Amino acid sequence: MTEGAPSLTTTLRSPVSPRADRPSVTVLPARRSGVGTDSRWQQRYANRLRLTDSVIVCAAVALAQFVRFGDAPNHSGYPGPVMTLFSCLFAALWLSSIAVFHARSTRIIGAGIDEYRRIASASFWTFGIIAMVTLLAKIDLARGYLAVALPVGTMGLLASRNVWRKHVWHKRAQGQYQTNVLAVGDRPGVTHLAHELLRNPKDGYVVVGICIAGYGPCRGESLTVGSREIPILGDETSAPAALDECGADTMAVTRTEHFGVHGIRELMWQLETTDVDLVVAPGVVDVACARLTLRPIAGFPLLHVEKPQYEGSQRFLKRAFDFCFAMAALAVTAPLMAAATIAIKLTSAGPIFYRAERIGRDGEPFTMLKFRTMVDGADTQVEGLLPLNQGAGGVLFKIHQDPRVTPVGKILRRFSIDELPQFINVLKRDMSVVGPRPPLRREVETYDGEVKRRLLVKPGITGLWQVSGRSDLSWEDSVRLDLSYVDNWSMAGDLVIIARTLRAVLASDGAY
């Protein structure tokens, strides 16, 4: 950030005197609270969450009391009214914890797993407080009461959040529940921001106007991003006036050096009197929130980015999880794998397993196992089928209606049964349960320095690529997801991917 860069100033009095060479802009009139569509729908959404949370918590507590004590609460050793009063206080404490953890904050609507994490944290803190109080006060409260309320209430709250998230996504797909954004910065920065927001409509942010640094006054031009034409409303000095012109309720600044230190501060002061939010893009992409920490140092808000967690003790934790999960998966799916073995042997000539070379961590090759879904010798037919390749960018070889796939193979692919033998690779420590897509040698030979980061961790049976479209992904998107996984790995993230994989497999998203 350079102080001499062009920046916004206002006619408001402030301790900082504006420099003479900075252009001044007119102060925006204060918007009335709740006028923007953003404020109205978010408030309604929060109220609905409050209502459903109250119903679920009260129902869980009432169910716990009924299951444990039936219609005679006196069996607890306390009079019925006392237990009912305790249940009411218990429900009130639980709902208060949800509010304290900001689980209904408008900042996390539809935003990753943070909604679920806050609900879980509020629930466990509530039960921790109850446990400590009953222990210190020597209250003989049946443990079965809490054992029913905790899982039932927490799962109910999480399920409720999932339903509401889908409702929000549905509304956003219809063009509702949107946050209108005015993007301010240099042309590459605002173009990239608009492109990413357009590619992720579930986030609910839509760029409705752009101000480009050094552009000058509005000339009626527009910037094409994908299929959208976004009006260019001038340069950074035109940003405050452009808010009303484009109807934006959020201003996103992508390059703060164009404003300068004082300009950003004065911009924040100016927007205080409006319903417009100010967000600043730090310039880092595909970094999980868990790795970001904002630290105010010497008056500067510095964004600290933690290093990836795939080394040391975290690698040991992942290895232990892989071993336990693979053993459990092989035990549970053993009958299904036996049926697949018989079906393959009876319907086509050739081996049961397809063995293929893949490249693992640090570029080490290994033999990956799958149930054979194609005719024997399918690899020798690749050259003749290259003109039919529908893979991303020609790097991946994919055909929607591959003539080499057997009838049984289509069923195995439909439900990803062909990939079950890869759990043997996990036990052999060649693969992980979750990780980047296992690449071919010819793919790795085309990798540049950036893409080689995929080889820092073991390839996975499933991963972000699996739950985000699988074969329908472009090569660029596949690489981006794999790199994002490598940089942002966490145990919680692996569990979420596994849960999403089950849903993707049942829906056959991108499977062919």
Residue 341 CB contacts under 8 Å (≥ 6 apart), including other chains: 352, 371
Q: How open is the CA angle 19-20-26, to the nearest 5 degrees? A: 85
What are the phi and psi torsion angles at 230 (to 5°)?
-105, 125
Quote the CA–CA distance of 461 and 249 in Å, as a whole number.
Answer: 43
Quick one: pLDDT at residue 97? 93
Quote the CA–CA distance of 364 and 440 in Å, as a whole number.
Answer: 11
**What one-letter code names the amino acid at 250?**
T
Quote the CA–CA distance of 235 and 23 in Å, as a whole number.
Answer: 11
Quote the CA–CA distance of 213 and 189 in Å, as a whole number.
Answer: 10
**Residue 286 CB neighbours (<10 A):** 13
Quote the CA–CA distance of 179 and 37 in Å, as a whole number.
Answer: 8
- According to the 3-state scheme, what is the secondary structure of 188-245? HHHHHHHHHHHHCHHHCEEEEEEEECCCCCCCCCEEEECCEEEEECCCHHHHHHHHHH
181-224 tens-digit pLDDT: 999 988 888 888 888 888 878 888 889 999 998 888 888 888 88
Inter-CA distances, 475 with 93, 383, 452, Å:
50, 21, 14
Quick one: pLDDT at residue 231? 92
Quote the CA–CA distance of 444 and 260 in Å, as a whole number.
Answer: 44
Asked if residue 182 lies in contact with residue 36, where contact means CB atoms within 8 angstroms, the answer is no
The pLDDT tens digits along the chain (512 residues) read 333 333 333 322 333 333 334 333 333 443 433 333 445 788 888 899 999 999 999 999 989 888 877 655 555 555 567 777 888 888 999 999 999 998 888 778 776 677 888 999 999 999 888 888 877 766 666 667 788 888 999 999 999 998 998 888 888 888 888 889 999 988 888 888 888 888 878 888 889 999 998 888 888 888 888 888 899 998 888 888 888 888 888 898 887 777 777 777 888 888 887 888 888 887 666 666 667 777 777 666 777 777 776 666 778 888 999 999 999 999 999 999 999 999 999 998 889 999 989 999 988 999 999 999 988 877 776 666 665 655 555 555 566 677 788 999 889 988 889 999 999 999 999 999 999 988 888 888 888 777 888 888 899 999 887 787 655 667 777 788 888 888 888 887 888 889 888 877 776 655 54
Quick one: pLDDT at residue 11? 29
What is the DSSP annotation of 50-110?
Answer: HHHHHHHHHHHHHHHHHHHHTT-GGGGTS-HHHHHHHHHHHHHHHHHHHHHTTTT-GGGTT
Q: Write down all domains in the chain, each with its CATH number in brackets.
A: 38-173 (no CATH), 178-283 (3.40.50.620), 313-507 (no CATH)
Question: What does the buried/exposed string (b/e) look like for 367-397 if buried means 16 or more CB atoms within 10 Å of the residue's CB?
Answer: ebbbbbbbeeebeeeeeeeeeeeeebeebbb
Quick one: pLDDT at residue 1? 38
Beta pairing class for 365-371 and 353-359: antiparallel
Quick one: pLDDT at residue 390? 53
**What one-letter code names the amino acid at 387?**
P
Please, which residues bridge with residue 253 across strands? Answer: 184, 280
Q: Given the structure tokens 């921790």, which residue do they identify?
A: 128
Quick one: pLDDT at residue 36? 39
Burial class (CB in 10 A: 0-12, 13-18, 19+), 249: buried
Token readout for 56 is: 């679920």
Farthest CA pair distance, the chain: 86
Q: How open is the CA angle 322-508-357, to the nearest 5 degrees? A: 50
What is the DSSP annotation of 387-441?
Answer: GG--SGGGTS---TT-TTB-HHHHHHHHTTGGGTTHHHHHHTTS-EEE-SPPPPH
Q: Given the structure tokens 């452009």, which residue do they identify?
A: 242
Quote the CA–CA distance of 232 and 242 in Å, as a whole number.
Answer: 9
41-57 tens-digit pLDDT: 888 888 999 999 999 99
CA torsion, points 186, 13, 271, 269, in degrees to nearest 10? 80
DSSP letter at 23 equals P
CA 419 to chain CA centroid, nearest Å: 25
What is the DSSP annotation of 358-401?
Answer: EE-GGG-EEEEEEE--B-TTGGGGHHHHGGG--SGGGTS---TT
